[in-house]
Copies of this chain bind each other. A is one copy, B any other.
Amino acid sequence: MASCDTCLVRNRAICAALDADEIGALNTIGRQRLLEPGESLIWEGDDSVLVANVIEGVLKLSTGTEDGREQIVGMVFASDFIGRPFGTTTGHGVTALTEAKVCVFNRRDFDSFARAHPALEHKLLQRTLDELDRTRRWMLLLGRKSASEKVASFLIEMTDRVASPGCSSLMPPGAIHLDLPVSRQQIADVLGLTIETVSRQFTRLKADRIIDLPSRREVVVLDRAALVAEAG
């Protein structure tokens, strides 16, 4: 059975607020679950029945209109928290983008545990405040930036969030290698654009020698400064 002791995110997730005894107690109400790419953990509009910590992988948070338009409202990574504690419904779906491992809790169990452990609630509050700040900054992008600014901003955000350690010596100095966890369509859904516009911006950036595109899911950032300049 998986235990918190061996958990990859033991010291980075909100659990870091707890001591050994408390972790033991939390361990009894949580269980690990594996998700395949495309598999959903929570659906938009559902009653809030569970919350979770991400142990491995990348997931998206998304909402949509009735006529099928979709907007990705957040991406969550290892050690991030998922779900809506202390509430009744979840406003957005949660779906795995890569294979993912999550530590799932029944929401009510988690709620009472959290209320009994202020240090945990404090960590959760800090995370929520950070996420709110990040989300508000993204609103500027959605409301006011052009397609080229949006794509540049996306790539910069990605270099900060999923910078691959496996940069081979074959790459030009200063280059940053990215393995995107998302398809072109999903990038479009993050940026509020169409897939065609995203694709055209990628090819233009490649033509301008600002990035390289070794494969569909890979991006090499050749000139990060140029990207920052384009991001507005």
Specify the chain B residue showing the minimal Cβ separation from A63.
B140
Specify the chain B residue showing the minimal Cβ separation from A92.
B136
Is A67 on the interface with B (CB-CB < 8 A)? yes
Is A125 on the interface with B (CB-CB < 8 A)? yes
Judge whether A71 and B122 touch: CB under 8 Å: no
Residue of A124, A131, A136 with most partner-chain B CB within 10 A? A136
Expressed in whole angstroms, the Cα–Cα distance for A130 and B86 within the complex equals 10
Taking a contact as CB atoms closer than 8 A, the residue among B115, B118, B132, B192 that contacts A128 in the complex is B132
Judge whether A135 and B129 touch: CB under 8 Å: no
Specify the chain B residue showing the minimal Cβ separation from A132.
B132
Is A61 on the interface with B (CB-CB < 8 A)? yes
Is A64 on the interface with B (CB-CB < 8 A)? yes
Is A216 on the interface with B (CB-CB < 8 A)? no
A128 to chain B, nearest CB (A): 5
